[in-house]
C-alpha cells in the first residue's frame, strides 16, 4: 500500500511539473511539454528540463547556464545565440537543431545526437562530447573542445580580386580567406593583410611575412619554419602545434596568441611581444630572448649580447727627447790663503 501511494505521489509530482511549469531560473520543469513554444531571450539558468519536449521551440538567445536538459527532446529547436555553458544534456536529441552561435563551453554533452544540426559559430570549448553523433551536421567556424576551428562545411566564398588581392597556388591573399593545406613555400607576403584567415596546416616555410597582419588568423599545425615574421602582427592568432623552427619574429606582436604545443627551436624573439600568450607545451629550446615581453609581462633579456665598447686604433704619441743637460762643473770658491 505504501509503495502504491509513493508511486502515485511521484506520478502526481511529474504531472504537476509538466502542466504547471513556470519558466524561470532554477525551477523544476521535468518532462515539461514545451514543443513549439516561444522561449526566446529568457533567463533559465539552473532550470531542470530533463526529459522535456522542446522540439521546434524558439529559445533564441536564452540563458540555460548550468541547466539540466538530460534526455530532452530538442529536435528542430532554435537555440541561436543561446548560452548553455556548463549545462548537462546527456543523451539529448538535437537533431536538425539550429545552434548557430550557441555557447556549449564546458557543457556535458555525452551521447547527444547532433545529426543535421547547424553548428555555425558554435562554441564547444571545454565541452565533453563522448559518444556524441554529428551525422550530416554543418560545421563552419565551429570551435571544438581541443581549441581547433572546424570549417569542414563552410561555403567557400570567392572574394572579388582587386589589385591588392593576389592568388598564390589557388589561395587568395585577403582577409578571412580560407586556404586549408595551402602551399605557400617561399611566398612573398610582405605587408599582406590576412586577418582572420583560415590557414590550417598551410605550408609557409621560408615565406616572407614582413609586417604581415595575421591578427586572429588560424595557423593551427602550419609550417612556418625559417619564415620571416619580422614586425608581423599575430595577436590572438591560433598557432597550436605550428612549426616555427628558426623563424624570425623580431618585433612581432604575439600578444594573446595561442602557441600551445608550437615547436619554436632556435626562433628569434628579439623585441617580440608575447604578453598574455599561451605557450603551454611549446618547445623553445635555443630561442633568442632579448627585450622580449613574456606572457606574464616580464621582460626577458636572457639572450642579449653584451655590447663591448668600440676599440679605436691606438694613438701614436711622439716622444720628443729632452735636450741633453750640460755637465755642471763643481763650483770653485776662491780659497783664502791660510796664514801661518
Residue-wise pLDDT tens digits, 175-225: 999 888 889 999 999 899 999 999 999 999 999 999 999 999 999 999 999
**Residue 217 maps to which CATH number?**
2.160.20.80
Coil, strand or helix at 291? coil
Q: Average pLDDT of 35-64?
A: 95
**Residue carrying the nine cell digits 619574429:** 249
Q: Are residues 209 and 142 in the same domain?
A: no
pLDDT band at 163 (very low <50, low <70, confident <90, very high): very low
Q: Average pLDDT of 312-328?
A: 52
Does residue 333 register a pLDDT over 80? no
Q: Are residues 54 and 113 in the same domain?
A: yes
pLDDT value at residue 164: 54
Q: Are residues 35 and 138 in the same domain?
A: yes
Residue numbers of the domain that contains 270: 172-304
**Residue 79 maps to which CATH number?**
2.160.20
**Tens-digit pLDDT profile for residues 229-253:** 999 999 999 999 999 999 999 999 9
Q: Are residues 182 and 280 in the same domain?
A: yes
Coil, strand or helix at 5? helix
CA separation, residue 55 to residues 28, 74, 179, 228, 242 (Å) = 18, 4, 37, 53, 42
Does the residue 1 lie in any domain?
no
Q: Are residues 218 and 257 in the same domain?
A: yes
Q: Are residues 206 and 300 in the same domain?
A: yes
**Tens-digit pLDDT profile for residues 284-315:** 999 999 999 999 999 999 999 754 444 444 44
Q: Are residues 149 and 200 in the same domain?
A: no
Q: Are residues 177 and 148 in the same domain?
A: no
Q: Are residues 201 and 92 in the same domain?
A: no
What pTM value is reported for the model?
Answer: 0.47
Q: Are residues 246 and 176 in the same domain?
A: yes
In angstroms, how far apart are the furthest CA atoms of the chain? Answer: 171
Q: Are residues 133 and 47 in the same domain?
A: yes
Q: Are residues 293 and 238 in the same domain?
A: yes
Does the residue 330 lie in any domain?
no
pLDDT value at residue 325: 55
Distance separating alpha carbons of residues 137 and 119, to the nearest angstrom: 7
pLDDT band at 2 (very low <50, low <70, confident <90, very high): very low
**Tens-digit pLDDT profile for residues 260-293:** 999 999 999 999 999 999 999 999 999 999 999 9
CA-based end-to-end distance of the chain = 171
Coil, strand or helix at 138? strand
Does the residue 192 lie in any domain?
yes
With 0-12 / 13-18 / 19 or more C-beta atoms within 10 angstroms meaning exposed / middle / buried, residue 267 is buried
Does the residue 296 lie in any domain?
yes
pLDDT value at residue 146: 87
Amino acid at each position: 500500500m505504501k509503495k502504491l501511494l509513493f508511486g502515485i505521489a511521484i506520478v502526481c509530482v511529474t504531472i504537476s511539473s509538466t502542466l504547471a511549469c513556470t519558466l524561470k531560473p532554477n525551477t523544476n520543469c521535468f518532462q515539461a511539454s514545451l514543443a513549439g513554444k516561444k522561449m526566446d531571450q529568457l533567463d533559465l539558468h539552473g532550470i531542470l528540463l530533463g526529459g522535456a519536449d522542446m522540439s521546434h521551440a524558439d529559445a533564441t538567445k536564452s540563458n540555460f547556464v548550468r541547466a539540466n536538459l538530460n534526455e530532452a527532446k530538442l529536435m528542430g529547436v532554435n537555440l541561436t545565440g543561446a548560452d548553455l555553458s556548463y549545462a548537462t544534456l546527456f543523451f539529448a536529441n538535437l537533431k536538425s537543431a539550429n545552434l548557430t552561435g550557441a555557447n556549449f563551453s564546458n557543457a556535458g554533452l555525452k551521447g547527444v545526437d547532433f545529426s543535421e544540426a547547424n553548428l555555425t559559430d558554435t562554441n564547444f570549448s571545454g565541452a565533453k562530447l563522448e559518444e556524441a553523433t554529428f551525422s550530416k551536421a554543418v560545421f563552419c567556424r565551429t570551435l571544438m573542445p581541443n581549441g581547433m576551428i572546424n570549417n569542414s562545411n563552410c561555403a567557400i566564398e570567392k572574394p572579388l580580386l582587386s589589385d591588392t588581392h593576389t592568388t598564390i597556388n589557388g589561395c587568395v591573399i585577403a582577409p578571412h580567406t580560407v586556404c586549408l593545406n595551402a602551399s605557400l613555400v617561399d611566398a612573398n607576403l610582405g605587408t599582406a593583410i590576412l586577418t582572420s584567415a583560415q590557414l590550417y596546416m598551410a605550408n609557409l616555410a621560408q615565406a616572407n611575412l614582413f609586417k604581415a597582419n595575421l591578427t586572429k588568423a588560424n595557423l593551427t599545425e602550419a609550417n612556418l619554419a625559417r619564415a620571416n615574421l619580422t614586425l608581423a602582427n599575430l595577436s590572438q592568432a591560433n598557432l597550436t602545434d605550428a612549426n616555427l623552427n628558426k623563424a624570425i619574429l623580431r618585433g612581432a606582436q604575439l600578444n594573446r596568441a595561442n602557441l600551445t604545443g608550437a615547436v619554436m627551436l632556435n626562433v628569434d624573439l628579439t623585441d617580440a611581444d608575447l604578453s598574455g600568450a599561451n605557450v603551454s607545451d611549446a618547445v623553445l629550446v635555443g630561442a633568442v630572448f632579448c627585450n622580449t615581453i613574456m606572457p606574464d609581462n616580464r621582460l626577458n633579456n636572457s639572450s642579449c649580447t653584451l655590447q663591448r665598447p668600440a676599440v679605436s686604433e691606438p694613438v701614436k704619441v711622439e716622444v720628443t727627447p729632452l735636450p741633453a743637460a750640460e755637465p755642471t762643473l763643481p763650483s770653485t770658491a776662491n780659497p783664502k790663503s791660510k796664514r801661518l
